[in-house]
Chain A
Amino acid sequence: MTLSSTDLGFNPMAGNPLEAAFVGIAEIPSGRYPNRPFIGSLVEVAVAAVRDAGMQISDIDTVLLIPCLHSPDDQADLIFSRVVEELGLHGRAKASAMLHSGGSTSDNITRTAAGLIASGQAKNVLVVQADKWGSAPVADMVDMLSGYGIPREWERPTGLTFNAVGALITQRYMAASGSTPEEMAAVCVALRQWARLNPNAMYKDKDLTVEQVLGSKMVCDPIHAMECPMLADGATAYVMTSTENARKTHDRWVRIAGSGGCVSHYSIGQENDLATLGWKRAGERAYEQAGWGPEDADIAEVYDSYAAVLTIGLEGLGLCKLHEGARLFAAGEFSPGGRLPVNTNGGLLSAGHTGVGGGTALVVEGIRQLLGRAEDARQVSDCRRAVLGGSGGTYMDSQVLLLERVDK
């Protein structure tokens, strides 16, 4: 049997000049922007991220695209190469490709980019994402969200929807933890408090109370309408390079201290424990690699398409005690000014669910906070270490990135 570096519990890239570094980010506001073009959004954030990295477009040699969900046609259209052509990189770019693992794509694409850089296969990688989920026809999206990611032979015939997937997880989490509907609603309220500080958030202008959440109509017991993520248009991008390259032009960048993952199921009906999923295993691998633990985290940005998905993630990652996540949200522990800032952009639930991009926005927010580049009211002071978590499909995988600020 061959032992991988993960099994050995160290990060083989630490201190290596080819270790990956995040040097640029970009994002445009999330929400409903029916007149904002899809390709135009991809190009807009791509250019902005490259400029933010202090590079020229021509410096990019690899373009990795995060898939859109608003249209299977657009997803199948090989748009990663379209982006290359739109940017004038055709004939110069070495590679363009799309990688897909649903909501955890950004974590997996980051690992892929880091590997390409570490092995000398790529110098400067542009990761780019755009989605028009907020402007897509609702009926089409309801059908899509009861199709893709759900086994067609065994579970689609039951009428399962993604809201029901969230409800199955929430029901089990509430039973296991004893969390009340008020405490579950408090998760959404805390995320809204963060969204109010984020100019890119879909719900930046609207306060939210527990009473409003519980007063909204029941969509799928035990989930109310205001506990469902609102589908949104949005676009994000980031640029990764090697540490040796970052050092030449930057005083500060972000490195990957560790990463871990666990694919726990494909079918929601095959998940052994809906109240824990794969987070513990994923977190243990990542912390072992990084050489630091959850107690060292300054922020956490963890996938939150439903409140219980987030509390389960925080608990599995050791960022709070098992079964205490929702209660601690209700106590303000993860709100602005609380013990541990969580989902500081407002998360998918309040910044907007931009498809696969909801996870990308959390990654970009984590990098932004570590670079010290968030707006004053939202910036976490002396933010050095971030725990990032993503999950795809029916929360089929738990993917963890542990990011660290590096000052030259």
Chain B
Amino acid sequence: MTTSLTDEYYAALSRGELVIQQCGECRNPIMYPKYVCPFCGSTELGWTSSTGTGTLHSFAVQRVGAPTGFEDDLPYAVGVVKLDEGVQLLARLRPNADGNWDDYHCDMRVQFDTAPDEGRHIAWFQAE
């Protein structure tokens, strides 16, 4: 599903970049992208590059019961990442060299992985 909001965001992910929406009036960073600034109501919205660094608020490793289309991804991990810019998002987490997520823990530093996902418009993160 694409909209005027997803076009820019998805295109950036495809280039290996993570972008954040930014209000042209109050300058606040916005995530997820919105049609109207949730801080001041402005519709003058632009985009800014994220440093891609932040902390892992929480994470989960899905082992069984994947939705249709995700069966071959199992196991996979999702995490809530709080970016240093002050906004947050749900991302996928890269497994470590052993193919698991055993060394992930809440509040650890993580960074955006610039290798784009081949098939999906999602942000990947890994240990910083």
Contacts and interface: CB of A to CB of B under 8 A. Distances in A.
Contacts of B120: 157-158
B12 interface: no
A143 B73 CA distance: 15
Interface size class of B (residues with CB under 8 A): 35 or more
Contact of A169 (B32, B58, B67, B90): B58
A217 interface: yes
Interface string B63-74: 111111010010
A4 to B, nearest CB: 22
A163 interface: yes
Contacts of B3: 153
A379 interface: no
B6 A153 contact: yes
B6 A159 contact: no
Interface stretch (A144-152, A190-198, A338-346, A364-372): A144-152
Contacts of A143: 67-68
A269 B60 CA distance: 12
Interface in A138-191: 139, 142-143, 146-147, 151-155, 157-161, 163-164, 167-169, 171-172, 175-176
Contact of A217 (B64, B66, B91): B64
Nearest to B5: A153
B112 interface: no
A272 B120 CA distance: 26
A interface secondary structure, majority: mixed
A268 interface: yes
Contacts of A268: 80, 90
A274 interface: yes
B92 A158 contact: yes
Given A160-B78, A175-B58, A268-B80, A219 B122 contact: no
A219 B122 CA distance: 23
A172 B78 contact: no
B27 interface: no
A340 to B, nearest CB: 28
Interface in A232-271: 267-271
Given A154-B90, A160-B78, A164-B78, A171 B65 contact: no
Interface residues of A, number: 38
Interface string A193-224: 00000000000000000000000011111110
Contacts of B101: 221
A269 B122 contact: no
B112 to A, nearest CB: 14
B15 interface: no
A160 B32 CA distance: 16
A158 B3 CA distance: 18
Contacts of A160: 78, 90
A153 B64 contact: no
B88 A269 contact: yes
B32 A154 contact: yes
A153 B123 CA distance: 12
A404 B108 CA distance: 45
B65 A219 contact: yes
Contacts of A168: 58-60, 78-80
A175 B106 contact: yes
A218 B63 contact: yes
Interface in A268-293: 268-272, 274
Contact of A153 (B32, B73, B91): B32
A155 B106 contact: no
Contact of B61 (A151, A220, A269): A220
B101 to A, nearest CB: 8
Nearest to B67: A146
B97 to A, nearest CB: 19
Contacts of A147: 67
B89 A159 contact: no
Contact of A267 (B76, B90, B121): B90
Contact of A167 (B5, B60, B92, B107): B60
A267 B32 contact: yes
B76 A171 contact: no
Contacts of A158: 78, 90-92, 120, 122
27 contacts: A139-B68, A142-B66, A142-B67, A146-B67, A152-B1, A153-B5, A154-B32, A155-B90, A157-B122, A158-B122, A159-B70, A159-B78, A164-B60, A164-B78, A168-B59, A168-B60, A171-B59, A172-B57, A175-B106, A175-B107, A217-B64, A220-B61, A220-B63, A221-B60, A267-B90, A269-B89, A274-B58
Given A142-B67, A172-B57, A269-B90, 10 more contacts: A139-B68, A153-B1, A163-B65, A167-B62, A171-B59, A171-B60, A172-B106, A219-B64, A269-B32, A269-B80
Interface of B: 1, 3, 5-6, 31-32, 57-68, 70, 73, 76, 78-80, 88-92, 101, 105-107, 120-122
